[in-house]
Amino acid sequence: MKKILESLGFTQKETEVYLALVEFGNQPASQIAKKTGYPKSTVLFLFDGLLKKGYIRKSNRGRIQYFFADPKDLKTAKEKQLDDERKALDKAIPLLEEFKTPFSSEPKVTFYEGVEGCKKAYSTLLESTTEVLEFGAHGDLVEKFGEEFMNEFINGRIKNKVFLKAISKKDDVHKTLSKLDKKHLREIQFYPSSKGTLYSSIAIFEDKVLLLNLYQDAFAILIENKEVAETLKTIHKLQWK
């Protein structure tokens, strides 16, 4: 019972004095103080808070104040509180929406782990409704995913007519792949090996960015955000000749 009341917003002390009042009926604060072990001043302070919330009632007998708890009062008060909060929320949401900038979109991030998880993430490119812009480390793709998966992936991309524009390191792997560019519905442009190494692949499509890392640890991060995607598309275009 205590946990239920605490879930309704009661503090531990409020719970104890309230339950004592429910159990023993109409009582002065001094009697509830004896039952709970709290000082009378503490009980009066707690009762004052419960009175303001409408959870309990108070009456006078001469100079003595008596307190009474009816669970129906708690139900009525809680229902009114929830109704007031709902009305306030209905008013607040439209006002809060006005504070949102119209130029931003809500980001959504999905994490994938392991080689199988990365395969699932990479396969999302097959459903793209736009061309795919990529900073590609295709050597790692073939090594970790295997030739069979990559051949199926390429065939699926061709079937769905998803064109790929990749910027990759000028090495033997990518030179070999580039010979099949036209057949594989793709164009690979090279950057000099002296410029560095791409240890991860980055694919930009629709309003999404896929970061795929297969070097040592295998994981992928899919970000769905228009501004992030547009930023990476711009960087890709700046490098594309």
Per-residue pLDDT tens digits for 206-217: 999 999 998 878
Q: Write the DSSP string, 161-222.
A: T--EEEEEE-SHHHHHHHTTTTTTTEEEEEE-GGG----EEEEEETTEEEEEE-SSS-EEEE
What pLDDT is recorded for position 106?
64
pTM of the full structure: 0.56
Q: Tell me the pLDDT tens digit for each residue of 22-38.
A: 999 999 999 999 999 99
- Domains of the chain with bracketed CATH: 2-96 (1.10.10.10), 109-239 (3.30.870.10)
**Could you read off the pLDDT of 157-190 as tens digits, one per residue?**
999 999 999 998 888 888 888 898 899 999 999 8
At 117, give phi and psi (nearest 5°). -65, -40
